[in-house]
């Protein structure tokens, strides 16, 4: 399978969780890595930890606010900054794992504002990334964009109809972008339960993870580094395109 050594990879959402896991694996394979997050201190902390593990690794970070009404301009600014830092060379891969805290409400309390705000980072930002991508990614079948969904797209959960709708919609967006952006490959990773900061901290996180164990066949919740392997595989397999890759411990079948 092709190597991703010396390839340039932007990970939007790369300062924590699955995105940070992708950064770890990419640096281990000697890729040039750029991470982005809305939080500069989190970026700095992630880079510090990555440099301790990979002192010779090529890693830089840039802030990007995806919650702003100027999300498209912010994404464009980020891509320009990354290309400049990459000595003017176009990117090989872009990974999108960014997400805000999960907006969960009973259906009876959902309104238009809630629907719009819940989808800005999860759905609208990836679609706008697809619009901007051709200017910043090498036009080759070896290049890729990988988006992120979740098993709630296929297995409904109470009080999650809005998130479920956006996660389902990302499958259609992925296939459409694969057509629109060819030869650049566009794929989607659909994780199940993952132990990340998204579930909070301390006892809240522990309780949530314990509850999620019952949703998998293995009786355990995946670690971010395990899910990150799916993104690396997609970058390396130059024949996978328009596909959804499940990594959910059997959760969708439970």
pLDDT in tens, 109-125: 999 999 999 999 999 99
pLDDT for 120 equals: 96
Structural contact between residues 244 and 149, judged by C-beta atoms closer than 8 angstroms:
yes
For residue 149, indicate whether it is catalytic.
yes
Instruction: Give, to the nearest 10 degrees, the angle between helix 224-236 and helix 17-28.
Output: 50
Domain ranges in the chain are 8-253
Residue 63 is classified by DSSP as: E
| Helix/strand/coil for 104 | coil
In the chain, which residue ranges form alpha helices assigned H by DSSP? 17-28, 40-53, 71-85, 112-119, 125-132, 161-180, 202-213, 224-236
Please choose, from the candidates 15, 37, 198, the residue with its C-alpha nearest in 3D space to the C-alpha of residue 125.
37
Catalytic residue (one of 41, 149, 176, 214): 149
Specify the pLDDT at position 81. 98
Q: Which is the CATH superfamily of the domain at 8-253?
A: NAD(P)-binding Rossmann-like Domain (3.40.50.720)
Kindly tell me if the per-residue pLDDT of 24 is higher than 70: yes
- Residues 175-225 pLDDT 10s: 999 999 999 999 999 998 776 665 556 566 665 555 565 666 666 667 888
**Comparison of pLDDT for 151 and 57, the residue scoring more:** 57
pLDDT at 38 over 60: yes
């Amino acid at each position: 399978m092709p190597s991703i050594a010396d390839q340039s990879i932007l990970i939007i959402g790369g300062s924590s969780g699955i995105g940070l896991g992708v950064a770890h694996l990419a640096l281990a394979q000697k890729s040039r890595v750029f991470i982005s997050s809305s939080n500069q201190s989190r970026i700095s902390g992630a880079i510090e930890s990555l440099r301790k593990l990979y002192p010779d690794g090529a890693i830089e970070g840039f802030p990007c606010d995806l919650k702003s009404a100027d999300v498209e301009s912010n994404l464009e600014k980020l891509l320009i900054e990354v290309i400049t830092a990459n000595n003017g060379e176009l990117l090989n891969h872009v990974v999108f794992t960014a997400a805000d805290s999960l907006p969960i409400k009973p259906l009876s309390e959902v309104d238009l504002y809630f629907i719009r705000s819940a989808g800005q980072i999860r759905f609208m930002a990836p679609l706008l990334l697809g619009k901007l991508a051709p200017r910043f990614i090498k036009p080759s079948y070896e290049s890729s964009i990988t988006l992120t969904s979740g098993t709630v797209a296929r297995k409904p959960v109470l009080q999650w109809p809005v998130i479920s709708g956006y996660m389902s919609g990302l499958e259609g967006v992925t296939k459409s972008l694969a057509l629109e952006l060819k030869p650049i490959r566009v794929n989607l990773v659909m994780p199940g339960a993952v132990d990340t900061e998204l579930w909070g901290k301390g006892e809240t996180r522990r309780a949530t993870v314990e509850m999620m164990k019952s949703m998998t066949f293995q009786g355990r919740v995946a670690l971010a580094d395990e899910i990150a392997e799916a993104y690396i595989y997609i970058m390396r397999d130059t024949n996978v395109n328009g596909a959804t890759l499940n990594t959910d411990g059997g959760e969708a079948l439970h």
